[in-house]
């Protein structure tokens, strides 16, 4: 037997001895969330996990194969707006509809990051201008822009997607991205959103792998079913590719981002654990 094969056999024996296999992602799992230089989260609309398939969304599924695909990921509620607010602040803030405008003064991820000396920016496609507070304009909807609802998030953090930098090293610590009402699949096809994601964020996804950064792709809710199971993928540095069956929600995603920067858990995020089993 060659030296390489002997070494592999010994390694496999050690893994089996602690109840793990060489193919197990947990064999290399970290115990904490990495401190990423940048996290970008993009939210799509109103599709169940079962609708995002290799035939309907080839880029989504290709991206999932490059990272951690969560097979038991769930939204918080229906309709759209309270899910955006929950992921950003750890609470639906009592919102049960898509009515606009909303205004809150409580704690949220953007204010947390800024208060800790980090940075946050939300980028909304089709928003007519930076700092815009109107409810709608063309294919832009404020109901999908949670950061503008909080008075303690500065107007300078509310930007158009046209301002998303080509030089990814200049991104804020955390960025949220909202496609417009067509490209987020709300009014247009899954194929439309799939193409938009590939054209606009594949460059960042590939860059993130070698630049201590992370892309999170998720949905606000499913297609209005009781189950509310959605597609969620993490792609980037430190991610062990694979399929993960542990249950997560929007609060789990928020808790994971907070944990990356040592921030206290907000609201519903305090009742869940951050994602730790995907990191190598």
Per-residue model confidence as pLDDT tens digits over 5-49: 333 333 333 333 333 333 334 445 668 999 999 999 999 999 999
Over pLDDT 90: what percentage of the chain?
89
**Which architecture, in CATH terms, is 31-271?**
3-Layer(aba) Sandwich (3.40)
Record the pTM.
0.90
Mean pLDDT, the chain, rounded, equals: 91
Average pLDDT for 143-172 = 98
Q: What is the pLDDT of residues 235-271, one digit of tens each?
A: 999 999 999 999 999 999 999 999 999 999 999 999 9
Cis check for the bond before 79: say yes or no (omega within 30 of 0).
Answer: yes
Q: State the pLDDT confidence band at 233, using cuts at 50, 70 and 90.
A: very high
Other Cβ atoms within 10 Å of 85 Cβ, number: 25
Other Cβ atoms within 10 Å of 90 Cβ, number: 27
252, 240 Cβ separation under 8 angstroms: no
Q: Is the pLDDT of residue 87 over 50?
A: yes
Average pLDDT for 169-173 = 98
- Residues comprising the chain, all counted: 280
């Amino acid at each position: 037997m060659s030296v390489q094969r002997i070494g592999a056999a010994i390694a496999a024996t050690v893994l089996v001895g602690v109840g793990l296999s060489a193919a197990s992602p947990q064999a290399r799992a970290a115990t904490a969330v990495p401190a990423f230089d940048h996290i970008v989260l993009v939210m799509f609309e109103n599709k169940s996990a079962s609708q995002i398939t290799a035939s309907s969304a080839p880029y989504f599924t290709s991206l999932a194969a490059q990272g951690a695909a969560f097979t038991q990921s769930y939204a918080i509620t229906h309709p759209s707006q309270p899910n955006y607010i929950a992921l950003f602040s750890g609470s639906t803030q009592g919102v049960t509809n898509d009515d606009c405008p909303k205004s809150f003064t409580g704690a949220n991820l953007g204010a947390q990051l800024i208060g800790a000396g980090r940075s946050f920016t939300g980028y909304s496609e089709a928003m007519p201008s930076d700092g815009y507070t109107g409810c709608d304009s063309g294919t832009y909807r404020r109901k999908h822009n949670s950061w503008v609802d909080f008075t303690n998030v500065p107007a300078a953090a509310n930007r158009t997607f046209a301002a998303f930098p080509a030089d990814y090293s200049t991104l804020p610590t955390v960025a949220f991205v909202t496609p417009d009402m067509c490209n987020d699949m709300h009014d247009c096809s899954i194929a439309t959103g799939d193409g938009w994601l590939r054209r606009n964020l594949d460059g960042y996804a590939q860059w993130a792998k070698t630049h201590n950064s992370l892309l999170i792709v998720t949905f606000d809710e499913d297609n209005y079913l009781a189950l509310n199971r959605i597609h969620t993928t993490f792609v980037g540095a430190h991610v062990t590719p694979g399929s993960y069956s542990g249950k997560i929600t929007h609060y789990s995603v928020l808790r994971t981002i907070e944990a990356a920067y040592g921030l206290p858990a907000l609201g519903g995020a305090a009742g869940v654990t951050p994602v730790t089993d995907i990191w190598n």
